[in-house]
Amino acid sequence: MKKIILALLCSLLIVGMVAQETRKDTVAVMILQKMSDVIGDLNSVSFKLNTSVDVVKHGYGVETQFGHSEVYMVGPDKMLIHSKGEKGHRGFWYNGETFTYYSFDENNYAIVNALPTIIETIDTIHKTYGIRFPAADFFYPTFTEDVLDFFDNVMYLGEKVLNGETYFHVLASNEKFNAQFWISNDAFNLPKKFIIRYKDNMQYEATFSNWQLNPEIPISVFEFMPPPKATQISIMAK
């Protein structure tokens, strides 16, 4: 969670909130840990993610930007992401040895050496090139610990209904902002939605759908093949 928050600090306005009494609800912690354990036990996974983020446009005010991603992963070292949003239609391929960025709109691509695992590669690529990976924090084995370290209060708000389905609702907050998580009330306890909100109501929101657990994904999916007339480029470190 710290990684999501630190990435968003670069683009969202941060203001203070009224200080609260510190509280760590054991039920909320148990729900988050069960979700994290289930995700950590997966050998492969795919899902879709819809996002919206408020961005300050100088001279114009706040703009809400929307995005959609399809994510495929085979642990520990295979990942494919197709992403559409403000930066256009982009693809990211990781095969355990190299990481490839491809712009469908511009028909160009860049290839860089990668580290041996998905988590190490996500960390390095984000720190070096500023590329954000959708909902990556949920796949870190330290997810629950990160939430507890970063937020002063972690509370269980009960069961809530979204689109006819029942979810556990968890709220985490500190002096600057809060985060809400809606987690499936079923055998798998997978995340459905999360919102990070600031005092002035600027926020980041993401909704999961089409979870596929341990699907058979051909390894060839994670190998990038340059399309006809595609140009290889270099990407600059941020």
How far apart are alpha carbons 51 and 209 in whole angstroms?
12
Higher-scoring residue by pLDDT: 9, 56:
56
What pTM was computed for the model?
Answer: 0.86
Q: 123: exposed, middle or buried (C-beta count within 10 Å: 0-12, 13-18, 19+)?
A: middle
For residue 198, what pLDDT is reported?
A: 83
Going by pLDDT thresholds of 50, 70 and 90, the confidence category of residue 56 is confident
Q: Which residues pair with 80 in a beta bridge?
A: 72, 93
Q: What is the DSSP string of 153-186?
A: EEEEEEEEEETTEEEEEEEEE-SSEEEEEEEESS
pLDDT in tens, 176-228: 889 999 999 999 999 999 999 987 778 999 999 999 999 999 999 999 999 99
Question: Is the Cβ–Cβ distance between 209 and 48 less than 8 Å?
Answer: yes
pLDDT in tens, 71-95: 999 999 999 999 999 999 999 999 9
Q: 191-198 and 203-213 as β-strands: parallel, antiparallel, unpaired?
A: antiparallel
For residue 16, what pLDDT is reported?
A: 36
The structural domains of the chain, with segments of one domain joined by +, span 2-224
What is residue 214's three-state secondary structure? coil
pLDDT at 111 over 80: yes
CA angle 211, 43, 90 (to 5 degrees): 55
pLDDT at 129 over 50: yes
For residue 14, what pLDDT is reported?
A: 34
For residue 125, what pLDDT is reported?
A: 94
Q: What is the DSSP string of 34-54?
A: HHHHHHHT-SEEEEEEEEEEE
> What kind and span of H or E run contains 99?
strand 98-103
pLDDT in tens, 10-52: 433 333 333 445 789 999 999 999 999 999 999 999 999 999 9
Q: Name, in order, each residue with C-beta under 8 angstroms of 113's C-beta and a sequence gap of 6 or more.
A: 97, 98, 99
How far apart are alpha carbons 19 and 152 in whole angstroms?
10
The CATH superfamily of 2-224 is Lipoprotein localisation LolA/LolB/LppX (2.50.20.10)
Share of the chain above pLDDT 90, in %: 74
